[in-house]
Chains A and B, each alone.
Chain A
């Protein structure tokens, strides 16, 4: 009955993180094992409302963990976990995940780009791989799960997620169907 969970845990233990040097991986391994249980032992979460973090912009990951820790972003699970990390753990973990290879891209056919995608490109870079932007380091969106992206866009629009004023304003200007179109496009972008 628990085969998937056991498999997941084993995978997590074995390869939970992209090793950025065996020594470094070893020191935070017990903590990254926790990450792997939801974000995937090989970088692909089984629940598509959980984001892919392998290959994500490390500075973005670092900001999110800090925001969870200090209460600027709210999640029962992530707040507890972020609180348990020292500053050093946090830098090390985000560097490791950041330097990992983004997992296998979607094979689906790319739909026509929604008009509003240009707005995303302004901060998330032309290829939507994220990077430095006027409002901080923007995360990679290309190849992220559609379900996660829709949830996130809605959460910004509803005020449930409030750790980027730029995103709140932008998402409130998009209708829910537009958000879904954008998410579906981003999810298959390589």
Chain B
């Protein structure tokens, strides 16, 4: 698990060509890279925090899934402790991780404004939006308060898309609000307007992420389920055909109505529609640059055993059904939901693109616009895994890279930043969201100890 440093190689290769550059990575990283070259598959892909290592690649497929309760279900709540003396995060050779901003209790969603300012949602106890401005080299970050008095402040999106937004949208408890904004504003210049006021509240899954299509016509809002698997859901609504038509096939009802969905509205909050259903908890939305395809980082269900079911990252297709609560990862039946079985949906479940170690809890994701990390990594997604509770030995608590090829995920992913797990009980950080700063470095938030970290690539 030892991480190699590039120190010492930097001067040697400073003037070498790009070709040599990637060769250098191979030289400098040899032990880690050896494991990276072989992708962990099958049972080996599951693993736990003890076998995480920067550079490790994994690929989990539906065929690798065990039967429900092949292992007993376990509760292993992590206790967040301050960073132990000497504890360090580990990343891949050539990269450095440093604490960028501290003291950000409740740090959740991170977004980069078009002018390079960083927006950060502090969700709880009081919902706030903070702004962070740093130098061109990301030095000397200064934090300002953009807005306070929010409740469960989470998703942040700039509108209209492009270089000159006029509004900052924020998803919070029961609603989406927007603040007037001009490039460079570090504090809100006016009171928020409520754009959407009918988002579901209560129960589990309070995060509400917000994103816009590149043409600015569609606002996506992700609303997670109220429950684990809708065990208390009652009989189907009367006139079920009409319900399915108005909510999209595969949507659940009762207190799950308009939940486990990705919803769409106009930017003015009109024309509410279900864009996709059966997405248990899409905690992080990201729109792929170039294609405008919407992706979700999704938390799957609990209490089926250590290695079931995988969480996932997927492109979200309009009208698609991703299984919850009746099915998981394709047509695998879950018998726990109330309201009766749904054989009619068995052949309508879309299998997600990238399956993650079960219970990892992917929360936020961002696409790498390029500019600093390895050239091959441009267009790859990076995802923050908040970490498991429903597993004997922890998974998650790390940042992963999800490689894309020709605009599509390959299905593999790579451990990129690890090291928050101190022992079988304690952790000293819980990653929530990622964003790429203007200089191409990666920032990620930790709501365990209220820190924003920066991962930079440097040759020396």
CA distance in complex: A39, B204 (Å): 21
Query: Knowing that A80-B303, A155-B125 are A-B contacts, what are 12 other residue pairs whose CB atoms are under 8 Å apart, sorted by A's residue number?
Result: A2-B424, A9-B392, A34-B74, A34-B75, A37-B76, A50-B77, A72-B202, A77-B75, A77-B390, A84-B231, A84-B336, A160-B125
With beta carbons under 8 angstroms apart, the residue of B226, B231, B302, B392 that contacts A5 is B392
Known A158-B125, A158-B126: A71·B204 in contact at CB below 8 Å: yes
Chain B residues near A83: list those with CB within 8 A.
227-229, 231-232
Q: Are B76 and A84 neighbours in the complex by a CB distance under 8 Å?
A: no
* Interface set, chain A 120-166, CB cutoff 8 A to B: 154-155, 158-160
Interface digits, A74-100 against B, CB 8 Å rule (1 contact, 0 not)?
A: 101101110110000000000000000
24 residue pairs A–B, Cβ–Cβ below 8 Å: A2-B393, A4-B423, A5-B76, A5-B425, A30-B72, A35-B75, A37-B74, A37-B75, A37-B76, A38-B76, A47-B79, A49-B79, A71-B202, A74-B202, A77-B75, A77-B77, A77-B389, A79-B204, A81-B75, A81-B303, A83-B231, A84-B303, A154-B125, A160-B125
CA distance in complex: A35, B392 (Å): 14
With beta carbons under 8 angstroms apart, the residue of A9, A30, A84 that contacts B228 is A84
* Interface set, chain B 432-449, CB cutoff 8 A to A: none
Interface digits, B38-66 against A, CB 8 Å rule (1 contact, 0 not)?
A: 00000000000010000000000000000
Q: Are B204 and A80 neighbours in the complex by a CB distance under 8 Å?
A: yes
> A179 interface residue, CB < 8 Å from B?
no
Interface digits, A99-126 against B, CB 8 Å rule (1 contact, 0 not)?
A: 0000000000000000000000000000
Q: Are B255 and A71 neighbours in the complex by a CB distance under 8 Å?
A: yes
A contact residues, range: 20 to 34
Q: Are B73 and A34 neighbours in the complex by a CB distance under 8 Å?
A: yes
Chain B residues near A47: list those with CB within 8 A.
77, 79, 425
> B124 interface residue, CB < 8 Å from A?
yes
> A23 interface residue, CB < 8 Å from B?
no
* Interface set, chain B 247-306, CB cutoff 8 A to A: 255, 302-303
Smallest distance from the beta carbon of A85 to chain B beta carbons, Å?
9
Chain B residues near A173: list those with CB within 8 A.
none
Shortest Cβ distance from B48 into A: residue: A2
Smallest distance from the beta carbon of A133 to chain B beta carbons, Å?
25
> B206 interface residue, CB < 8 Å from A?
yes
Chain B residues near A4: list those with CB within 8 A.
423-425
Chain B residues near A81: list those with CB within 8 A.
75, 303
> A1 interface residue, CB < 8 Å from B?
yes
CA distance in complex: A4, B392 (Å): 12
Smallest distance from the beta carbon of B203 to chain A beta carbons, Å?
3
Q: Are A69 and B204 neighbours in the complex by a CB distance under 8 Å?
A: no
Chain A residues near B423: list those with CB within 8 A.
1, 4
> A27 interface residue, CB < 8 Å from B?
no
Q: Are B72 and A5 neighbours in the complex by a CB distance under 8 Å?
A: no
Shortest Cβ distance from B79 into A: residue: A47
> B151 interface residue, CB < 8 Å from A?
yes
Shortest Cβ distance from A5 into B: residue: B424
Interface digits, A47-68 against B, CB 8 Å rule (1 contact, 0 not)?
A: 1011000000000000000000
Interface digits, A170-183 against B, CB 8 Å rule (1 contact, 0 not)?
A: 00000000000000
Known A5-B424, A159-B151, A160-B125: A70·B73 in contact at CB below 8 Å: no
Smallest distance from the beta carbon of A142 to chain B beta carbons, Å?
24
Q: Are B228 and A38 neighbours in the complex by a CB distance under 8 Å?
A: no
Smallest distance from the beta carbon of B385 to chain A beta carbons, Å?
14
Interface digits, A23-53 against B, CB 8 Å rule (1 contact, 0 not)?
A: 0000000100111011000000011011000
Q: Are B74 and A71 neighbours in the complex by a CB distance under 8 Å?
A: no
CA distance in complex: A158, B202 (Å): 16
CA distance in complex: A38, B151 (Å): 29
Chain A residues near B226: list those with CB within 8 A.
71
Known A2-B393, A83-B228: A74·B206 in contact at CB below 8 Å: yes
9 shortest interchain CB distances as A-B pairs: A71-B203, A158-B125, A80-B228, A71-B202, A80-B302, A5-B424, A47-B79, A37-B75, A79-B204
CA distance in complex: A2, B76 (Å): 12
Smallest distance from the beta carbon of A16 to chain B beta carbons, Å?
12
Chain B residues near A9: list those with CB within 8 A.
74, 392
Chain A residues near B303: list those with CB within 8 A.
80-81, 84
CA distance in complex: A4, B79 (Å): 14
Smallest distance from the beta carbon of B129 to chain A beta carbons, Å?
18
Interface digits, B123-160 against A, CB 8 Å rule (1 contact, 0 not)?
A: 01110000000000000000000000001000000000
Smallest distance from the beta carbon of B388 to chain A beta carbons, Å?
11
Chain A residues near B151: list those with CB within 8 A.
159
Chain A residues near B392: list those with CB within 8 A.
5, 9
Q: Are A158 and B77 neighbours in the complex by a CB distance under 8 Å?
A: no
CA distance in complex: A83, B204 (Å): 11
